[in-house]
């Protein structure tokens, strides 16, 4: 059910941006709202993190599309970045599912997700792209840490959310950063001795 809600939300964002604002004509019934206690700074931080994940997903899509060009033809890099784009999009979806669980998907969808404009769409080589990817992951990690600090501090103390972010998201981010750093080091070593052939061979093993 939650996945259906998320899918409908994404479709609603696209429709809203294409056709303008729209609202449901049904009156919202009155129910107790004491359980909806995720608010203020922590809620705003969650919304910001969702947008960060979507932004990262679009940037990775641009990377994958560039290396998939016939004039570039680095299928290993393309597959890696397309996979990363999917992972970032899934991260955003999971955060939306969490907001749904906490009763927070009641606002205009345009206030939750905005389609980003990808500024950079070309790279001089694979090493430059991996450097950008590592910087992107570092930015997302910092954003998650800031969100954790906000939600665990007074007056919020949302322990469940903090545990979720620390055990699921932060763990994956740290492993991802280390993996990217290792790949970048290996690629630079190969390119320093073999030039473009080194990048070609590295791409074949991604």
Question: pLDDT, tens digit, for every residue of 21-60?
Answer: 555 677 777 777 666 677 788 889 999 999 999 999 999 9
pLDDT above 70 as % of the chain: 83
Residue 137 in marked binding region: yes
Residue 91 in marked binding region: yes
Least confident of 135-149, 155-169, 174-188: 155-169
Q: State the pLDDT at residue 111.
A: 72
Tokens read off for 196: 């473009």
Cβ-proximal residues to 49 (8 Å cutoff; 6+ apart), any chain: 95, 143, 144, 147
What pTM value is reported for the model? 0.82
Residue 53 in marked binding region: yes
CA separation for the pair 101, 142 (Å, rounded): 25
Question: pLDDT, tens digit, for every residue of 65-118?
Answer: 999 999 999 999 999 999 999 999 999 999 999 988 888 876 666 677 888 889
Residue 173 in marked binding region: yes
Residue 79 in marked binding region: no
pLDDT band at 180 (very low <50, low <70, confident <90, very high): very high
């Amino acid at each position: 059910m939650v996945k259906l809600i998320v899918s409908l939300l994404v479709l609603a964002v696209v429709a809203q941006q294409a056709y303008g604002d729209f609202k449901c004509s049904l009156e919202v019934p009155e129910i107790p709202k004491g359980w909806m206690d995720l608010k203020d700074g922590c809620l705003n931080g969650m919304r910001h993190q969702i947008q960060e994940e979507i932004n990262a997903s679009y940037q990775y899509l641009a990377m994958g599309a560039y290396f998939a060009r016939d004039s570039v033809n680095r299928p290993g890099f393309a597959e890696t970045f397309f996979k990363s784009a999917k992972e970032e999009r899934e991260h955003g979806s999971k955060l939306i599912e969490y907001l749904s669980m906490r009763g927070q998907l009641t606002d205009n969808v345009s206030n939750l997700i905005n389609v980003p404009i990808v500024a950079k769409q070309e790279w001089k080589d694979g090493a430059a792209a991996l450097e950008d990817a590592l910087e992107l992951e570092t930015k997302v990690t910092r954003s998650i840490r800031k969100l954790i600090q906000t939600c665990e501090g007074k007056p919020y103390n949302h322990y469940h959310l903090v545990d979720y972010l620390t055990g699921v998201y932060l763990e994956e981010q740290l492993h991802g950063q280390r993996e990217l750093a290792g790949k970048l080091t290996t690629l630079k070593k190969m390119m320093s001795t073999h030039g473009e052939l080194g990048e070609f061979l590295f791409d074949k093993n991604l």
